[in-house]
Amino acid sequence: MSKDPTPLSPPKYNKLLKAAEERSHRHGFTVYALGYTGLRSSEFSRLSCEWLDSEKQMLQVPKDAVKGIRSRVRSIPLSEDGVERFEDFFTTRREVAISPSTVTKRVKSVSEDSLSENVTPQTLRSTFTTRLLQTEVPQSEIRQLLGYTPSKWDLVPADGYGVAEKKIRNGLY
């Protein structure tokens, strides 16, 4: 029986992010990217600079981002701060290129030290999702942001995400 991860409150997420940034640039970027994009750890582990569209302020997640997961191509809006953080990370490397288990180890090590809790990448994905729900983003937009196949009843604007894009660009936490 698996237990769904408990999302972090904004203060706890911010405390975790601060501790991760103090630990190292890579730890900080990992916690930031997972918490602000809802990427799966397996997607983050394959993240490359080609996914970043700075001009449109979007992270373009390709269909083949994760082998074995039926996902769709999707764009995740980024705030100006988000674009800057991704650009900064990619000034010294072209891709993340670590295993999903290393992503998990980074998040867990920081969370155990700073929050005395077992936070996983899935917890950060759940935190992102919960934050969108709390800011009244329609579930259809959330499903698309997370890479789920949309249902035939999902109505998402053709030119973007509407509500989600505005909320993300203004900052979630």
pLDDT of residue 164: 81
Closest residue by Cα to residue 33 from 72, 74, 73, 90: 90
Query: 10-169 falls under which CATH superfamily?
Result: Intergrase catalytic core (1.10.443.10)
**Cα–Cα distance for residue pair 60/99, rounded to 1 Å:** 20
pLDDT of residue 141: 85
Distances (CA, A) of 15 to 21, 114, 146: 10, 7, 24
**Cα–Cα distance for residue pair 63/85, rounded to 1 Å:** 23
Domain boundaries, the chain: 10-169
Q: Is residue 35 over pLDDT 90?
A: yes
Q: What is the CA radius of gyration of the chain?
A: 15
Q: What is the mean pLDDT of the chain?
A: 88
pLDDT of residue 1: 43
pLDDT digits (tens, 9 = 90+) for 51-89: 999 999 999 999 888 766 666 678 999 999 999 999 999
Q: How many CB atoms lie within 10 A of CB 81?
A: 12
**Cα–Cα distance for residue pair 71/65, rounded to 1 Å:** 8
Q: What percent of the chain has pLDDT over 70?
A: 87
pLDDT digits (tens, 9 = 90+) for 117-153: 999 999 999 999 999 999 998 888 888 888 876 655 5
Distances (CA, A) of 130 to 86, 115, 127, 170: 23, 19, 5, 16
- Residue 99 sits at φ, ψ, to 5 deg, of -80, 155
